[in-house]
Amino acid sequence: MEIGYGMGEATWQIAKANPDINYIGVEVHMPGAGKLMAKLAEHEITNVRLIERDVFEVFHYMVKDASLDGAHLFFPDPWPKKRHFKRRIIQDRFLSEIATKLKPGAYLHIATDWVPYAEWISEVFSKSTLFIGGVIARPDSRPLTRFEGQGISKDHAVNDFRYLKV
């Protein structure tokens, strides 16, 4: 599952590289859906399904417990203003809900180019008993997206995290 696929750049590339794995893309804002669907059609990729819903609704109504092998959360909105921190997806509630949907040993891969958000992610996960893991080197399997390129051009440090469900 890719949560918040944006324009879908990583989604179609990962799905194309892994044609025997099925992917679900979940996005609450749909401007990128058309672009992603065009790329899927252009490359004849058939192992992706898209859902336009809040991920918490998807977890509640559409995903069976212990059914996901992994999830990607690449460059979620960091909500940099303190008064907006409550809107950040990485919260205790998210960890609790995604943990019920992941199989034991399944992974959660997160990437951010906002250092204060990376620190937040580390802190939230450090308090959780549901996951083990932490910062990793950027894996070759994660495509470089336009959004990430923009962050790099602004000298933003990119942090990748990989957590495994206990």
Could you tell me which of 64, 59, 71 has the C-alpha nearest to residue 4? 71
What is the spatial distance between Cα 83 and Cα 1, in angstroms, rounded to a whole number?
A: 29
Question: Cβ distance 98 to 166 under 8 Å?
Answer: no
Catalytic residue among 77, 92, 140, 155: 77
Looking at residue 95, the DSSP 8-state letter turns out to be H
Question: Cβ distance 138 to 111 under 8 Å?
Answer: yes
Helix %, strand %, coil % of the chain (to 5):
40, 25, 35
One-letter amino acid of 134 = G
State yes or no: is 113 an active-site residue: no
Tokens read off for 77: 């909105």
Give me the active site residues, please: 77
